[in-house]
Structure 1
Amino acid sequence: MTLLQDVKNRISFAYGVALLVAINGFLLFLPVLERGVAHANAKSGSFDTWKEALSFLALLEIPGFVVGLVLLLMSLGLLIKSRISWFFSLLLLVATVCVDFFILKKPDGVTFFSLVTIAVLAFYWRRFDHYSLASGSLPYPQTDPPAQQRAQPAPQPDPENIQRSHESPSRVCW
Protein backbone atom coordinates (compact mmCIF):
# COMPACT_ATOMS: atom_id res chain seq x y z
CA MET A 1 0.00 0.00 0.00
CA THR A 2 2.85 2.42 0.69
CA LEU A 3 4.31 1.85 -2.78
CA LEU A 4 1.02 2.90 -4.38
CA GLN A 5 0.86 6.02 -2.20
CA ASP A 6 4.48 6.85 -3.00
CA VAL A 7 3.76 6.60 -6.73
CA LYS A 8 0.65 8.79 -6.35
CA ASN A 9 2.64 11.41 -4.46
CA ARG A 10 5.39 11.58 -7.07
CA ILE A 11 3.29 11.46 -10.22
CA SER A 12 0.95 14.38 -10.71
CA PHE A 13 -2.18 14.51 -12.85
CA ALA A 14 -0.28 16.91 -15.11
CA TYR A 15 1.99 14.08 -16.27
CA GLY A 16 -1.00 12.04 -17.38
CA VAL A 17 -2.67 14.93 -19.20
CA ALA A 18 0.61 15.94 -20.84
CA LEU A 19 1.19 12.33 -21.91
CA LEU A 20 -2.28 12.17 -23.51
CA VAL A 21 -1.66 15.41 -25.43
CA ALA A 22 1.82 14.27 -26.49
CA ILE A 23 0.49 10.93 -27.74
CA ASN A 24 -2.25 12.74 -29.62
CA GLY A 25 0.26 15.10 -31.20
CA PHE A 26 2.51 12.20 -32.13
CA LEU A 27 -0.42 10.35 -33.72
CA LEU A 28 -1.19 13.43 -35.84
CA PHE A 29 2.50 13.84 -36.69
CA LEU A 30 3.17 10.14 -37.41
CA PRO A 31 1.58 9.70 -40.89
CA VAL A 32 3.64 12.54 -42.33
CA LEU A 33 6.76 11.24 -40.62
CA GLU A 34 6.21 7.71 -41.98
CA ARG A 35 5.60 9.00 -45.49
CA GLY A 36 8.72 11.19 -45.28
CA VAL A 37 10.90 8.28 -44.17
CA ALA A 38 9.50 6.02 -46.91
CA HIS A 39 10.02 8.76 -49.50
CA ALA A 40 13.60 9.34 -48.34
CA ASN A 41 14.33 5.61 -48.53
CA ALA A 42 12.81 5.37 -52.02
CA LYS A 43 14.91 8.25 -53.30
CA SER A 44 17.97 6.92 -51.43
CA GLY A 45 18.62 10.34 -49.91
CA SER A 46 19.57 12.12 -53.14
CA PHE A 47 17.51 15.26 -53.57
CA ASP A 48 18.44 18.03 -55.97
CA THR A 49 15.82 20.59 -54.94
CA TRP A 50 13.61 21.36 -51.95
CA LYS A 51 10.60 20.63 -54.11
CA GLU A 52 11.79 17.05 -54.53
CA ALA A 53 12.55 16.71 -50.86
CA LEU A 54 9.07 17.89 -49.83
CA SER A 55 7.11 16.24 -52.65
CA PHE A 56 5.81 13.57 -50.28
CA LEU A 57 3.62 16.09 -48.45
CA ALA A 58 0.04 16.41 -49.60
CA LEU A 59 -1.54 19.83 -49.23
CA LEU A 60 -4.02 18.72 -46.56
CA GLU A 61 -1.36 16.94 -44.49
CA ILE A 62 0.63 20.07 -43.70
CA PRO A 63 -1.87 21.38 -41.08
CA GLY A 64 -1.97 17.97 -39.38
CA PHE A 65 1.81 17.93 -39.29
CA VAL A 66 1.97 21.42 -37.75
CA VAL A 67 -0.83 20.70 -35.24
CA GLY A 68 0.89 17.49 -34.16
CA LEU A 69 4.20 19.28 -33.69
CA VAL A 70 2.58 22.11 -31.70
CA LEU A 71 0.70 19.61 -29.51
CA LEU A 72 3.99 17.91 -28.73
CA LEU A 73 5.40 21.27 -27.65
CA MET A 74 2.26 22.16 -25.67
CA SER A 75 2.57 18.94 -23.69
CA LEU A 76 5.78 20.35 -22.23
CA GLY A 77 3.85 23.41 -21.06
CA LEU A 78 1.18 21.17 -19.55
CA LEU A 79 3.83 19.55 -17.37
CA ILE A 80 4.22 22.83 -15.51
CA LYS A 81 0.43 23.38 -15.39
CA SER A 82 0.38 26.35 -17.74
CA ARG A 83 -3.09 27.64 -18.55
CA ILE A 84 -1.87 29.01 -21.88
CA SER A 85 -0.69 25.56 -22.91
CA TRP A 86 -3.97 24.08 -21.68
CA PHE A 87 -6.01 26.55 -23.73
CA PHE A 88 -4.05 26.10 -26.96
CA SER A 89 -4.03 22.31 -26.60
CA LEU A 90 -7.79 22.33 -26.16
CA LEU A 91 -8.24 24.73 -29.08
CA LEU A 92 -6.08 22.66 -31.43
CA LEU A 93 -7.75 19.40 -30.45
CA VAL A 94 -11.24 20.84 -30.92
CA ALA A 95 -10.23 22.21 -34.33
CA THR A 96 -8.80 18.82 -35.32
CA VAL A 97 -11.95 16.99 -34.27
CA CYS A 98 -14.16 19.51 -36.12
CA VAL A 99 -12.11 19.14 -39.30
CA ASP A 100 -12.29 15.34 -39.09
CA PHE A 101 -16.04 15.26 -38.44
CA PHE A 102 -17.38 18.13 -40.55
CA ILE A 103 -14.91 18.71 -43.39
CA LEU A 104 -13.23 15.37 -44.06
CA LYS A 105 -16.20 13.37 -42.72
CA LYS A 106 -13.83 10.50 -41.92
CA PRO A 107 -13.44 10.16 -38.16
CA ASP A 108 -10.86 7.56 -37.24
CA GLY A 109 -9.21 6.27 -34.08
CA VAL A 110 -7.14 9.43 -33.66
CA THR A 111 -10.33 11.50 -33.74
CA PHE A 112 -11.92 9.51 -30.94
CA PHE A 113 -8.67 9.61 -28.96
CA SER A 114 -8.75 13.39 -29.43
CA LEU A 115 -12.27 13.45 -27.99
CA VAL A 116 -11.05 11.55 -24.92
CA THR A 117 -8.16 13.99 -24.54
CA ILE A 118 -10.56 16.95 -24.84
CA ALA A 119 -12.73 15.43 -22.10
CA VAL A 120 -9.71 14.97 -19.81
CA LEU A 121 -8.52 18.53 -20.46
CA ALA A 122 -12.00 19.89 -19.73
CA PHE A 123 -12.27 17.83 -16.55
CA TYR A 124 -8.97 19.10 -15.13
CA TRP A 125 -9.30 22.74 -16.25
CA ARG A 126 -9.07 24.19 -12.75
CA ARG A 127 -5.77 22.48 -12.03
CA PHE A 128 -3.93 24.45 -14.71
CA ASP A 129 -3.50 27.58 -12.64
CA HIS A 130 -0.26 29.13 -13.91
CA TYR A 131 -1.04 32.00 -16.25
CA SER A 132 2.30 32.07 -18.02
CA LEU A 133 5.00 29.59 -18.87
CA ALA A 134 7.44 31.43 -16.62
CA SER A 135 5.19 31.28 -13.56
CA GLY A 136 5.16 27.49 -13.68
CA SER A 137 8.71 27.42 -12.45
CA LEU A 138 8.12 29.82 -9.56
CA PRO A 139 7.37 28.37 -6.13
CA TYR A 140 3.95 28.74 -4.60
CA PRO A 141 3.57 31.60 -2.11
CA GLN A 142 3.58 30.60 1.52
CA THR A 143 0.14 30.36 3.03
CA ASP A 144 1.43 30.91 6.57
CA PRO A 145 3.94 33.79 6.71
CA PRO A 146 6.68 33.78 9.36
CA ALA A 147 5.87 35.22 12.77
CA GLN A 148 7.68 38.55 12.21
CA GLN A 149 5.76 39.14 8.97
CA ARG A 150 2.31 38.48 10.40
CA ALA A 151 0.05 41.49 10.57
CA GLN A 152 0.04 43.04 14.02
CA PRO A 153 -3.30 44.26 15.35
CA ALA A 154 -3.82 47.99 14.97
CA PRO A 155 -3.20 49.92 18.20
CA GLN A 156 -6.36 51.18 19.86
CA PRO A 157 -6.53 54.93 20.47
CA ASP A 158 -6.33 56.07 24.07
CA PRO A 159 -9.76 57.50 25.02
CA GLU A 160 -8.20 60.16 27.33
CA ASN A 161 -6.18 61.74 24.52
CA ILE A 162 -9.08 62.07 22.12
CA GLN A 163 -10.15 65.69 21.72
CA ARG A 164 -13.87 65.98 21.65
CA SER A 165 -15.44 68.36 19.18
CA HIS A 166 -17.55 70.16 21.79
CA GLU A 167 -14.53 71.04 23.97
CA SER A 168 -12.75 74.25 22.99
CA PRO A 169 -12.19 73.81 19.34
CA SER A 170 -9.34 75.89 18.07
CA ARG A 171 -10.56 78.23 15.38
CA VAL A 172 -8.70 80.93 13.67
CA CYS A 173 -10.78 83.70 12.17
CA TRP A 174 -9.27 86.35 9.98
Structure 2
Amino acid sequence: MDRFPLPRLATVLLAAALPLAACSKDSEQPAQTDTPTSESPSRTQLVDEVSQRFSTLAPASLFSQLEQCSVTDRSGSYDCSGSDVGQFQFFDSDAKAASTTQLLTELRSSRVVEDTGARVVGWSTLGTSAIVTVVDNDRGQVLQQLVSMDQDDPREVIYELGLAARPS
Protein backbone atom coordinates (compact mmCIF):
# COMPACT_ATOMS: atom_id res chain seq x y z
CA MET A 1 0.00 0.00 0.00
CA ASP A 2 1.38 3.46 -0.87
CA ARG A 3 2.44 5.65 1.99
CA PHE A 4 1.59 9.32 2.02
CA PRO A 5 4.32 11.40 0.35
CA LEU A 6 6.08 13.63 2.90
CA PRO A 7 4.30 16.90 1.92
CA ARG A 8 0.92 15.14 2.19
CA LEU A 9 1.92 13.55 5.52
CA ALA A 10 2.88 16.94 6.92
CA THR A 11 -0.42 18.39 5.71
CA VAL A 12 -2.43 15.54 7.25
CA LEU A 13 -0.63 15.73 10.60
CA LEU A 14 -0.77 19.51 10.66
CA ALA A 15 -4.50 19.44 9.93
CA ALA A 16 -4.95 17.00 12.80
CA ALA A 17 -2.75 19.03 15.14
CA LEU A 18 -4.09 22.53 14.48
CA PRO A 19 -7.39 22.06 16.29
CA LEU A 20 -5.37 20.64 19.18
CA ALA A 21 -2.84 23.47 19.34
CA ALA A 22 -4.53 24.85 22.43
CA CYS A 23 -4.87 21.44 24.03
CA SER A 24 -1.46 21.06 25.62
CA LYS A 25 -1.73 20.66 29.37
CA ASP A 26 0.79 23.48 29.75
CA SER A 27 -1.19 26.04 27.75
CA GLU A 28 -3.10 28.68 29.61
CA GLN A 29 -6.85 28.35 29.90
CA PRO A 30 -8.70 31.04 27.94
CA ALA A 31 -11.04 33.18 29.96
CA GLN A 32 -14.62 31.95 29.74
CA THR A 33 -17.01 34.87 29.68
CA ASP A 34 -20.20 33.25 28.49
CA THR A 35 -22.76 32.23 31.06
CA PRO A 36 -25.11 29.31 30.65
CA THR A 37 -28.65 30.12 29.65
CA SER A 38 -31.75 28.09 30.20
CA GLU A 39 -31.27 26.64 26.70
CA SER A 40 -27.58 25.74 27.06
CA PRO A 41 -26.28 23.20 29.54
CA SER A 42 -23.92 24.33 32.30
CA ARG A 43 -20.26 23.34 32.16
CA THR A 44 -20.86 20.70 34.82
CA GLN A 45 -23.76 19.30 32.81
CA LEU A 46 -21.51 19.25 29.73
CA VAL A 47 -18.81 17.32 31.60
CA ASP A 48 -21.45 14.79 32.63
CA GLU A 49 -22.80 14.61 29.07
CA VAL A 50 -19.33 14.12 27.58
CA SER A 51 -18.52 11.48 30.23
CA GLN A 52 -21.59 9.47 29.30
CA ARG A 53 -21.45 10.04 25.55
CA PHE A 54 -17.76 9.09 25.19
CA SER A 55 -17.54 6.53 28.01
CA THR A 56 -15.94 3.83 25.82
CA LEU A 57 -12.93 6.02 25.01
CA ALA A 58 -11.51 6.54 28.50
CA PRO A 59 -11.98 5.27 32.04
CA ALA A 60 -14.29 6.99 34.51
CA SER A 61 -11.18 8.11 36.43
CA LEU A 62 -10.17 10.39 33.54
CA PHE A 63 -13.65 11.86 33.14
CA SER A 64 -13.85 12.52 36.91
CA GLN A 65 -10.79 14.77 36.58
CA LEU A 66 -12.34 16.96 33.88
CA GLU A 67 -13.40 20.30 35.29
CA GLN A 68 -15.03 21.87 32.26
CA CYS A 69 -16.19 21.17 28.73
CA SER A 70 -17.41 23.38 25.95
CA VAL A 71 -19.12 22.65 22.66
CA THR A 72 -16.95 23.55 19.68
CA ASP A 73 -18.21 24.93 16.41
CA ARG A 74 -18.41 21.39 15.01
CA SER A 75 -21.45 19.27 15.70
CA GLY A 76 -20.63 16.47 18.14
CA SER A 77 -17.27 17.97 19.10
CA TYR A 78 -16.22 19.05 22.60
CA ASP A 79 -13.16 20.62 24.20
CA CYS A 80 -12.63 19.52 27.80
CA SER A 81 -9.97 20.17 30.40
CA GLY A 82 -8.87 19.42 33.91
CA SER A 83 -5.94 20.91 35.80
CA ASP A 84 -4.43 17.48 36.52
CA VAL A 85 -5.05 15.82 33.14
CA GLY A 86 -4.75 18.64 30.61
CA GLN A 87 -6.97 19.36 27.64
CA PHE A 88 -8.80 16.92 25.39
CA GLN A 89 -10.96 17.02 22.31
CA PHE A 90 -13.80 14.57 21.77
CA PHE A 91 -15.38 13.95 18.37
CA ASP A 92 -18.53 12.08 17.44
CA SER A 93 -17.91 11.39 13.75
CA ASP A 94 -17.69 8.15 11.80
CA ALA A 95 -15.59 9.88 9.14
CA LYS A 96 -13.08 11.21 11.69
CA ALA A 97 -12.91 7.81 13.41
CA ALA A 98 -12.18 6.08 10.08
CA SER A 99 -9.57 8.60 8.92
CA THR A 100 -7.89 8.71 12.32
CA THR A 101 -7.70 4.91 12.45
CA GLN A 102 -6.05 4.96 9.04
CA LEU A 103 -3.60 7.64 10.18
CA LEU A 104 -2.67 5.67 13.32
CA THR A 105 -2.31 2.29 11.66
CA GLU A 106 -0.65 3.19 8.35
CA LEU A 107 1.80 6.02 8.91
CA ARG A 108 5.41 5.63 10.00
CA SER A 109 5.06 8.66 12.24
CA SER A 110 2.34 6.91 14.27
CA ARG A 111 2.60 4.30 16.99
CA VAL A 112 -0.18 1.93 18.06
CA VAL A 113 -0.39 0.71 21.66
CA GLU A 114 -3.67 -1.20 21.29
CA ASP A 115 -5.58 -2.30 18.19
CA THR A 116 -8.58 -4.58 18.49
CA GLY A 117 -10.11 -3.37 15.24
CA ALA A 118 -13.01 -1.80 17.08
CA ARG A 119 -10.69 0.22 19.35
CA VAL A 120 -7.35 1.77 18.41
CA VAL A 121 -5.08 3.60 20.87
CA GLY A 122 -1.84 5.30 19.91
CA TRP A 123 -0.21 8.55 18.87
CA SER A 124 1.02 10.40 15.80
CA THR A 125 3.99 12.73 15.78
CA LEU A 126 4.99 15.92 14.05
CA GLY A 127 8.27 17.31 15.23
CA THR A 128 8.31 17.21 19.03
CA SER A 129 4.52 17.10 19.36
CA ALA A 130 2.39 13.99 19.63
CA ILE A 131 -1.35 13.62 19.31
CA VAL A 132 -2.45 10.90 21.72
CA THR A 133 -5.56 9.31 20.24
CA VAL A 134 -8.24 6.77 21.15
CA VAL A 135 -10.69 5.67 18.45
CA ASP A 136 -13.88 3.68 18.96
CA ASN A 137 -14.72 2.55 15.43
CA ASP A 138 -17.96 0.85 16.47
CA ARG A 139 -19.37 4.12 17.82
CA GLY A 140 -17.51 6.48 15.46
CA GLN A 141 -15.86 8.44 18.28
CA VAL A 142 -12.40 9.90 18.84
CA LEU A 143 -10.53 11.32 21.85
CA GLN A 144 -7.35 13.34 21.26
CA GLN A 145 -4.80 15.14 23.41
CA LEU A 146 -1.78 17.14 22.23
CA VAL A 147 1.39 16.22 24.14
CA SER A 148 4.85 17.78 24.03
CA MET A 149 7.35 14.95 23.64
CA ASP A 150 10.00 17.23 25.19
CA GLN A 151 8.07 16.87 28.44
CA ASP A 152 6.12 13.60 28.23
CA ASP A 153 6.45 10.19 26.63
CA PRO A 154 3.15 9.62 24.75
CA ARG A 155 3.16 5.91 25.65
CA GLU A 156 3.43 6.75 29.36
CA VAL A 157 0.67 9.37 29.03
CA ILE A 158 -1.58 6.68 27.53
CA TYR A 159 -0.87 4.30 30.40
CA GLU A 160 -1.09 6.95 33.14
CA LEU A 161 -4.49 8.15 31.89
CA GLY A 162 -5.74 4.56 31.69
CA LEU A 163 -6.40 4.75 27.95
CA ALA A 164 -4.74 1.35 27.49
CA ALA A 165 -3.41 -1.33 29.83
CA ARG A 166 0.33 -1.73 30.30
CA PRO A 167 1.60 -5.00 28.89
CA SER A 168 2.43 -7.52 31.60
TMscore range, shorter length: under 0.3
Greater share of strand = 2
Q: TM-score normalised to the size of structure 2?
A: 0.25
Q: Which structure has the larger Rg over C-alpha atoms?
A: 1
Length-normalised TM-score, structure 1: 0.24
Answer 1 or 2: higher relative contact order, Cα 8 Å, separation at least 6. 1
Structure with greater proportional helix content: 1
